[in-house]
Amino acid sequence: MANEFAVELQDVVKKFITPEGNELNAVDHVSMQIKNGEFFSMLGSSGCGKTTSLRMIAGFEWPTEGEVYIEGKAMGRTPPFQRKVNTVFQSYALFQHLTVFQNIAFGLEMEGAQKDEIEKRVKHVLEMVQLTGMERRKPKQLSGGQQQRIAVARALVKVPDVLLLDEPLGALDLKLRKDMQLELKALQQQLGITFVYVTHDQEEAMTMSDRIAVMSKGKVQQLGAPVEIYERPANKFVADFIGDSNFFEGRIKSLSKEEAVVFIPDLNAEVTGIPVSQGLVNGEEITVSIRPEKVLISEKPMNQNTFSGKVTNTVYIGTDTHVYVDLMGKRVKVFEQNRISRLDPGSFYTVGQDVTLVMMPENVLVLKKE
């Protein structure tokens, strides 16, 4: 019977000894459940524990504490070659002395598959990654993108329960990377295989994933769908790491069942009507955040939740114009989409111009202090 979870990490710790001789928890009490058939990403900057977590699922590393389950079975110290998972390596790790065909056939030969069976399956998987006819080439004769597809094909030909991908697109240029993101996602949906994807690129994770685990310092900071992580970050780290945010230190002035009024000393102002979840108390010190694209610039003052400031800088980046506004000594980022084509610089905000910022309460988030 199929298990609900393809992979489960239960309170996993991985300790490393640093060159200085100190003990370091590269993975620090991580628990997560990866559902069958989902595209799951581990996202974080380098050293956050994402790759180590992936390597523990693959079996290249064993947890110091805790347990890794694959399809409900505790893995313990099962070696990689006895696990029904396959890996696409960051460096592709293709065998340079073998042809494309031999590279892909390698895993099938290890299973002891028959020759005609191998030929059939290699042909099929090459069609899947659109590289038919490349069988007799050596990996060195292929472009980076093609090598990447061979690495995917070599892992997929074994029809693993889980495909592990360790920053597989890191070496490709931007345009190719974006194409491959969509292709990988389509492949995953077509095959229904669980993908566990490690990346430091938040846009990549957002584009492809059903769910994302945002990691930092060996811990899972938040686990959820891309929209949850972006719109409802669990803490200041996630709000800061995913996308851009404006932060203000504040205090809860009054609290009703669904709404709060927050006083922000830096602005000497209140933000009213912020929707909040439970767990907050009156008078609590909190952090308020708002995404730059959710701050509106208004020509004339409005009544509530408006703040007067001066434009200090504008940066045109094509899709958007980034406007930096000084609010009582605090710099606020505002992203305005360039919805109209115009070449007249005068139509942008000019430095020194007085503006009014509107922060709609439903766009303002209240984050607990850590």
Partner 1 sequence: MLKRLRENKSAQGTLLATPTMLWMIGLLIIPLLLTLVVSFGQRSPDGDVIYSFSLDNYIRLFGYSTDCDNGQASCFDPLYLQILWRSLTLAFNTTVLVILLAYPLAYFIARAHPLRRNTFLFMVLIPLWTNFVIRVYAWMMLLRTQGVINLGLGWLAGLFNIPFTPLEMLYTPGAVLVGMVYEFLPFMILPIYTSLEKIDNSLYEAAADLGANGLKTFARVTLPLSMPGVVAGTILVFIPVMGTFIVSDILGGRQVILVGNLIQRQFLDARDPTFGSAASLILMIMTLIVTYFYTRKFGFGEEIVVA
Binding site for partner 1 (CB under 8 A): 58-60, 79-81, 85-87, 89-91, 93-97, 106-107, 110-111, 154-155, 158
155: its two tokens: 């892992």
Q: How far is the CB of 181 from partner 1 (least distance, A)?
A: 22
In the complex with partner 1, which residue's Cβ is closer, 50 or 158? Answer: 158
Q: How far is the CB of 157 from partner 1 (least distance, A)?
A: 9
In the complex with partner 1, which residue's Cβ is closer, 121 or 154? Answer: 154
In the complex with partner 1, which residue's Cβ is closer, 90 or 356? Answer: 90
In the complex with partner 1, which residue's Cβ is closer, 84 or 124? Answer: 84
Q: How far is the CB of 97 from partner 1 (least distance, A)?
A: 5
In the complex with partner 1, which residue's Cβ is closer, 154 or 291? Answer: 154
Q: How far is the CB of 91 from partner 1 (least distance, A)?
A: 5
In the complex with partner 1, which residue's Cβ is closer, 98 or 297? Answer: 98
Spell out the SS3 assignment of the chain: CCCCEEEEEEEEEEEEECCCCCEEEEEEEEEEEEECCCEEEEECCCCCCHHHHHHHHHCCCCCCEEEEEECCEECCCCCHHHCCEEEECCCCCCCCCCCHHHHHHHHHHHHCCCHHHHHHHHHHHHHHCCCCCCCCCCHHHCCHHHHHHHHHHHHHCCCCCEEEEECCCCCCCHHHHHHHHHHHHHHHHHHCCEEEEEECCHHHHHHHCCEEEEEECCEEEEEECHHHHHHCCCCHHHHHHCCCCEEEEEEEEEECCCEEEEEEHHHCEEEEEEECCCCCCCCCEEEEEECHHHEEEECCCCCCCEEEEEEEEEEECCCEEEEEEEECCEEEEEEEECCCCCCCHHHCCCCCCEEEEEECHHHCEEEECC
Query: Cα(138)–Cα(100) distance, rounded to whole angstroms?
Result: 6
In the complex with partner 1, which residue's Cβ is closer, 97 or 300? Answer: 97
Q: How far is the CB of 113 from partner 1 (least distance, A)?
A: 10
In the complex with partner 1, which residue's Cβ is closer, 88 or 269? Answer: 88
Q: How far is the CB of 220 from partner 1 (least distance, A)?
A: 25
Q: How far is the CB of 131 from partner 1 (least distance, A)?
A: 18
Q: How far is the CB of 76 from partner 1 (least distance, A)?
A: 16
